[in-house]
Amino acid sequence: MKSLSVKLVLITVLLQLCLSVLEVNAGGGGRARPAAGGPVPQFGDLIEFPRAGLYSHYGIFVGGEHFDKQGANDNIFEMTGGGCRFVEKKGHLKVRNDYYNKDAQTREQMIATIKALMDPKDERCKKYSLREENCEMVATRVRYGEAECQQKGTILAGVAKKLKPRIKRQKNMQKRREASAAA
């Protein structure tokens, strides 16, 4: 009887070990997991961190890729009050690629955008601004190639709508700068 219970314990431990290995190999690195019922985060996914319905913080999942200034376990690229950075986020990550009706950039374009934003000469990641450069704008710029702020499903959604004309002016100014630099 005792040997049967020892065998059951060993089988249970082996099964748990197998499940742990499967989770790690699924792309989450054993740390990042999908939100309940959600997809496993992949490079370039837009990740939402809801803040009690008031607003949402956004970042980009960068697991599986390495950048300068990125720690070994850092899996999120984000904008905070201190500028753009790489951080490790554990637990359940909420993939929100469905928020925008846009095609994502290619992996190479996203990598190039992150590298450009992290360049010390680039001013966009140096100072957080609700109206000009916020976490959602940086995350959507990386994923879609354009900054956008909607704050869908939050109290700040109405404020975000008022930011759209300002974002459009910024895009036009950026185009003019690029045209004059090319000339």
Report strand pairing: 91-95 vs 32-34. parallel
Report strand pairing: 46-51 vs 55-61. antiparallel
Higher pLDDT, residue 66 or 64: 66
pLDDT at 168: 55
Q: Please provide the DSSP assignment of 8-25 as one string.
A: HHHHHHHHHHHHHHHHII
Q: What is the pLDDT of residues 110-149, one digit of tens each?
A: 999 999 999 999 888 888 888 788 999 999 999 999 998 8
The pLDDT confidence band at residue 35, using thresholds 50, 70 and 90, is low
Report strand pairing: 32-34 vs 46-51. unpaired
- What is the average pLDDT across 70-91? 93
H/E run at residue 110: helix 107-118
Distance CA 100, CA 98 (A): 6
- Long-range own/partner contacts, residues 14-17 (CB < 8 A, 24 or more apart): none
Instruction: Find the range with the poorest average confidence among 23-32, 48-57, 61-70.
Output: 23-32
Q: How many domains does the chain have?
A: 1
Q: What is the pLDDT of residues 85-96, one digit of tens each?
A: 999 998 889 999
> Residue 123: what are its φ and ψ, rounded to 5°?
-80, -15
Q: Is 103 among the domain residues?
A: yes
Q: What's 107's domain CATH number?
A: 3.90.1720
pLDDT at 162: 73
Q: Is 53 among the domain residues?
A: yes
**Strand intervals (E) in the chain:** 32-34, 46-51, 55-61, 76-80, 83-87, 91-95
Mean pLDDT for all residues in the chain: 77
Q: Is 37 among the domain residues?
A: no
Q: Does the pLDDT at position 105 exceed 50?
A: yes
Q: Is 149 among the domain residues?
A: yes
Q: Is 25 among the domain residues?
A: no
Q: Is 126 among the domain residues?
A: yes
Q: Residue 92 belongs to what domain range?
A: 45-178
Q: Is 38 among the domain residues?
A: no
Q: Tokens 């759209």 sit at which residue?
A: 164
Whole-prediction pTM value?
Answer: 0.70
Q: Is 183 among the domain residues?
A: no
Residues 6+ apart with CB under 8 A from 27: 40, 41, 42, 63, 64
pLDDT at 159: 79
